[in-house]
Amino acid sequence: MAVSNDPETKIDVQSEPAASTEARSGSGGISGILQRHRREDLIERGCLLLRGIALVFSLISFLLVATNDHGDWKDFDHYQEYRYLLGIAILSSLYSGIQCFRQAKELSSNKKLIQPNTAALVDFFGDQIVAYLLISSASAAIPITNRMREGADNIFTDTSTAAITMTFFAFFCLALSAIISGYKLSTQTYI
C-alpha cells in the first residue's frame, strides 16, 4: 500500500491473495492437507490396533477350544458346534494376522502393498465376512454350552464359555474395523 500527502496521488490498495487466507484459516492449503494426512494416519493406526486386538482374541479362542479335551464326553471334537467355533477362530486368526502384517508393513515403509482401491474393498468385505462368521460361530456354540452347564458346571463348560467370550470380543473388534473400512471405502473417489 502506497500513501502520499499529495492530493492528486492515487492510493494503491492491494488485497491479500485468497490462497494465503485459506491456508491460515485451515480450510485449505497446507494446513488442510496436514490435517487430512493426520486424520488418515490415525484411521490407519486405529484399524491396525483393532485388527491386532481381534488377532489376540481369535488366537486365545482357538487355543481354548483346541485344548478343551478332558476325556469321555468332555472333548470338543464330539460336538459340531465347537468344531465350527474352532474353524472360524482359525480363519479369523489367519485373516487378522495377514491384515495386521500388511498394514504394519505399509505404515512402516510408507509404501502400499496393494492398490488403494483393492485394499479398501478387501478390508471392508473381509472385515464384514469374518465378523459375521465369528458371531455366527459364537451363536452356534452358546445353546449347547448352556444345556451342558445346566447338567454339570465343570472345566469343560467353563473353557467353552471362555472361548465363546473371546470369539465375541474378536467379533466386536472386527465389527468396529469394518465400520472404519466402510468409511475409508466411502472416501474413495475413483472406485
Residue 147 phi/psi, 5-degree rounding, is -65, -40
What domains, with CATH codes, occur in the chain? 49-187 (1.20.140)
Query: Given a cut of 60, is residue 18 above it in pLDDT?
Result: no
* 30-63 tens-digit pLDDT: 776 667 667 777 888 889 999 999 999 999 999 9
Q: Enter the pTM of the model.
A: 0.76
Choice between 119 and 191, residue whose per-residue pLDDT is larger: 119
- The Cβ of residue 131 has, within 10 Å, a number of other Cβ atoms equal to 22
* 135-182 tens-digit pLDDT: 999 999 999 988 888 887 788 888 889 999 999 999 999 999 999 999
Choice between 184 and 74, residue whose per-residue pLDDT is larger: 184
The contacts of residue 160 (CB under 8 Å, 6+ apart) are 64, 65, 68, 76, 82, 141, 145, 148
Query: Given a cut of 50, is residue 21 above it in pLDDT?
Result: no
